[in-house]
Amino acid sequence: MAAIEIDGITKRYGSVEALRGVSASVERGEIFGLIGPDGAGKSTLFRILTTLMSADGGRASVDGLDVAQEYRKIRSRVGYMPERFSLYLDLTVEENLKLFATLFHTTVEENYALVQGIYGQIAPFKNRRAAALSGGMKQKLALSCALIHKPSILFLDEPTTGVDPVSREELWEILGHLKRQGITTLVSTPYMNEARLCDRIALMQEGRFLEVASPSAIVARHGRTVWAVRGDRMSRLLVDLRAHPAVETCFAFGDRHHVTPCPGATTRHLREEMEAQGHREVEIQEIAPGIEDCFIRIAGRPDVKDE
């Protein structure tokens, strides 16, 4: 039995279709990532799976329990960490954790082993109010509270958004640790580079799953040669590259443009052409395609966040 079964789930808010029939299956002990830009429908799917919302159509089950029928049972078995920090700011770190333990009819001591690695880092500040914590510490507290009842499935909605790079890295380490303890994790992120850290991912856009597979499978399936191009005037370079016959697609990726060349094109040729058009310091490098390149290839446009 899969940890999570999603079968043709649809949801609309008025005239906006948030989910247009998504289907996937998350295996036990897997870290499954929902990768997609803001507004792709990630949070809506989280809310349906955590039984906060009813789907308009389709079926879903969590831990073998139907989200529509057996939602009460689901609620005691999952851990949920919403996108926004949602603990009590006027309660202390310790009070928050204790409250959530009581909420699930357990005690902090009973499951301390599970959260020790995370909570241990904020325990020195246990008498501090949650409002006074830094972003990374808030995140650790929220994760501790989501874990304190030893859930079988963990739902983390954009846990790394707005968190410093060090804390982000720590969080992924923690997820790996939890995976070894047998906890299934459904995690969403708008950061493509975090996709590699998941066992499997669903690329999501405008309420649809574009692709569900392991990150390496997605790259293998869609990855083509990618050239990273740099020049002295980047915005003009983008226009000129797109107009060039040897370039199939070209998108801005931070400080470089990623070019998918037409078959037979060479980097030397392209560089000379660009220099002929007045660009200087043109650098072209062949790189391994990332998830983001695949996403753009599949989605047809680059509206995802780079780190």
Partner 1 sequence: MNEKTTSGASLFGAFTHKEIRHILRDRRTLLILLGIPVIQIVLFGFAITTEVRDVRVGILDPTPDVATRHITDRLLANDYFTFAGLFSSPAAVERSLRRGEIEMALVFAPSSPGRITRDGTVPVQLIADASDPNTAALFTGYATNIITAAAGELAGTPEESPARLLPEMRLLYNPAMRAAYNFVPGVMGLVLMLICAMMTSISIVREKESGTLELLLVSPVRPFVIIAAKIVPYLILSGINIATILLLSVYVLDVPVVGSLFWLVLVSLLFVLVSLSIGIFVSSIVRSQVAAMLISGMVLMMPVVLLSGLLFPVENMPILLRWTSHLIPAKWYIAAMKKIMIEGAPVLYILREILVLVGMGILLLLVSWKKFNDRIA
Q: How far apart are CA 207 and CA 156, in angstroms?
A: 18
Q: Which stretch binds partner 1 (CB under 8 A): 83-91, 167-175, 186-194, 206-214?
A: 83-91
Which CB, 150 or 242, lies closer to partner 1? Answer: 150
* 69 lies in the binding site for partner 1 (CB under 8 A): no
Shortest approach of partner 1 to residue 172 CB, angstroms? 23
Tell which one of 1, 14, 15, 90 touches partner 1 (CB under 8 A): 90
Shortest approach of partner 1 to residue 119 CB, angstroms? 17
* 301 lies in the binding site for partner 1 (CB under 8 A): no
Shortest approach of partner 1 to residue 57 CB, angstroms? 15
* 16 lies in the binding site for partner 1 (CB under 8 A): no
Which CB, 131 or 262, lies closer to partner 1? Answer: 131
β-partners of residue 98 are none
End-to-end CA, the chain: 36
Token duo for residue 205: 């856009």
Tell which one of 21, 70, 104, 238 touches partner 1 (CB under 8 A): 104
Strands 78-81 and 153-156, how do they pair?
Answer: parallel
β-partners of residue 92 are 129
Helix, strand, coil percentages in the chain from 3-state DSSP, rounded to 5: 35, 30, 35
Which CB, 65 or 229, lies closer to partner 1? Answer: 65
C-alpha distances in Å from residue 245, one per residue of 260, 262, 265, 269: 12, 8, 9, 12
Which CB, 53 or 213, lies closer to partner 1? Answer: 53
* 177 lies in the binding site for partner 1 (CB under 8 A): no
Beta strands in the chain (DSSP E): 4-13, 16-26, 31-35, 57-62, 65-66, 78-81, 153-156, 184-189, 200-205, 208-213, 226-230, 247-253, 256-261, 283-287
Q: How far apart are CA 162 and CA 186, in angstroms?
A: 19
Q: What is the Cβ-side half-sphere exposure of residue 131, based on CA atoms within 13 angstroms? A: 4
Residues whose CB is less than 8 angstroms from the CB of residue 144 and which lie 6 or more positions away in sequence, other chains included: 97, 115, 118, 119, 122
* 181 lies in the binding site for partner 1 (CB under 8 A): no
Tell which one of 28, 128, 150, 271 touches partner 1 (CB under 8 A): 150
* 112 lies in the binding site for partner 1 (CB under 8 A): no
Which CB, 12 or 242, lies closer to partner 1? Answer: 12
Q: Which stretch binds partner 1 (CB under 8 A): 75-83, 201-209, 266-274, 297-305?
A: 75-83
Interface contacts to partner 1, rule CB under 8 A = 47, 50-54, 72, 75-78, 80, 82, 84-91, 95, 98-100, 102-107, 110-111, 145, 149-150
